Amino acid sequence: VQRLQEQVTQERSGHRAEIEKLSSLKKRVQDPGFDVSALTDFFVDSVGRSLAEKGSEIQLQLLDSSNHSQKELKRLETTLQKQRELILDHVDKRVSFLQEQWESDGVTLARLQARALELIKNEQKLTAEQINEIGSGMGHLPQKWRLENQIKLKRDFALQMMDGITQLTESKILEHQFFRVESRLVDIPYAPPYPTTIDPIFISIFSGLLGGVLCLGFLLLRMPLPVTAHFFEEQQCRFARRWERDYFQTLAYGVPIDRSVTLFAQGGKDGGAKELAHLLAERGLKLLLVEIGLEEGSQEIEEGFFCLAREQNSETLNGPAFFAKLDLWKKSFDVVLLSSPWRVSQCIHSPLKDHCSALLVYVENETATEMKPLLQDARTFFILES
């Protein structure tokens, strides 16, 4: 009720403030020199705003007297005066509406105050009833306290008696045990004539488990670990991380420009050879993309470069005919990008890498021993998969 009362009081104050504002506005609108366009931002309702906008348009037309005749100007003045009267009529209606709202809020406020007073009286009545109940209950407390104290005294007395009986019983038992210990002879221990042997099955099982654990630890220590980015940094090799957003830009600007052949070994994955080709083509390079491992003879023209597919045949790729075509492509294109699904081992043993000026190699789980020939090759650019 208090929250509703505050809300109604706030609305009532807002209505009264708006009534005062509209009353002062009515006096200003009656002035012939008042600018009607100033009312555009004053009215919050759509009707008043439309009347103000229309009056502003008429007033602007009156200001442009050079393009209107005297008859039109007189007609515009009459229209503007009627528009002022409409605005005044709208203000009067708005004031009367707000006055009714203000009076209605007063009635609502009075009802809320009466309801709040009624609730306060009910609360007082309930509080008086609770006080009477507490007073009637307090009359029985002395009798309850007396009974409670008697029960506590009986309980304490019973506990003391049980404690005394327990101590007396324990002392009697201890005295009897001490008498038996003092009267008993001390047993002299003798060592057995033969030593006990350990079970050979237990020794065999324990030895086998210990040997297995030692062998497993030795194998784990000797097992080579996959290379990481820290390893490439120590070897001062060029590399990029596949999960980085701009690693394609790093590859695109790391490829030499002068009639180069680049071997892109994707490691059995979709390495994004066409994305790299698009970035190289955006640099203004004339590029040929040869996808090794697809059906031979299929070719297409991508945006900015040519795309050619060849079968993965070792005799065809390592033969002199393919190397002759490769030399011809080097003369016709700025960059020849050979995309293949090879892994590191296939790239190392392929004679095709000797005819390339750059090698882009995917590295996933390879060790340093497997990659030793490529680590010593300055043409290699590594791409870390994980």
Q: Which of 113, 132, 151 is the last residue of a domain?
A: 132
Q: Which of 92, 116, 132 is the last residue of a domain?
A: 132
Is 182 domain-assigned?
A: no
Average pLDDT for residues 177-192, to the nearest whole number? 57
Provide the 10 A C-beta neighbour count for residue 240: 20
Which of 173, 202, 339 has the alpha carbon at shortest distance from 262? 339
Q: Which of 110, 132, 154 is the last residue of a domain?
A: 132
110/257 same-domain check: no
Lowest-confidence pick of 7-21, 30-44, 158-172, 199-213: 30-44
Average pLDDT for residues 143-165, to the nearest whole number? 84
Which of 33, 22, 27 has the alpha carbon at shortest distance from 91? 22
How much is the mean pLDDT over the chain?
71
Distance CA 108, CA 110 (A): 5
Angstrom CA distances, 7 to 2, 13, 102, 112, stand at: 9, 10, 13, 11
Statement: residue 147 has pLDDT above 50: yes
Give the pLDDT score at 32: 59
Statement: residue 73 has pLDDT above 50: yes
233/104 same-domain check: no
Banded model confidence at residue 297, pLDDT cuts 50, 70, 90: very low
Any idea which residue has 């515009």 for tokens? 76
Q: How many CA atoms lie within 13 A of 380 on its CB side?
A: 23
Segment 335-356, tens digit of pLDDT: 777 777 767 667 776 777 777 7
Number of structural domains in the chain: 2
Is 193 domain-assigned?
A: no
106/241 same-domain check: no
Give the pLDDT score at 311: 47
255/108 same-domain check: no
- Enumerate residues 6+ apart whose C-beta is below 8 A from 101: 11, 15
CA 53 to chain centre: 49
Is 199 domain-assigned?
A: no
Is 241 domain-assigned?
A: yes
122/236 same-domain check: no
Angle at the Cα of 187 (from 185 to 192), degrees rounded to 5?
165
371/242 same-domain check: yes
Segment 204-243, tens digit of pLDDT: 888 889 888 888 887 777 666 666 677 777 777 776 666 5
Banded model confidence at residue 258, pLDDT cuts 50, 70, 90: low
Statement: residue 331 has pLDDT above 70: yes
Give the pLDDT score at 47: 66
Banded model confidence at residue 362, pLDDT cuts 50, 70, 90: confident
Measured N-to-C along each axis, helices 46-63 and 70-138 cross at an angle, to the nearest 10 degrees, of 150
235/125 same-domain check: no
Statement: residue 129 has pLDDT above 70: yes
Is 161 domain-assigned?
A: no
Q: Which pTM value belongs to this model?
A: 0.38
Give the domain extent around 81.
2-132
Statement: residue 314 has pLDDT above 60: no
Which of 54, 45, 375 has the alpha carbon at shortest distance from 238? 375
Is 162 domain-assigned?
A: no
Is 209 domain-assigned?
A: no
Give the pLDDT score at 351: 73
Judge whether 44 and 18 are in contact, CB under 8 Å. no
Write the CATH number for 372: 3.40.50.300
Structure tokens at 239: 């590399």
Is 348 domain-assigned?
A: yes
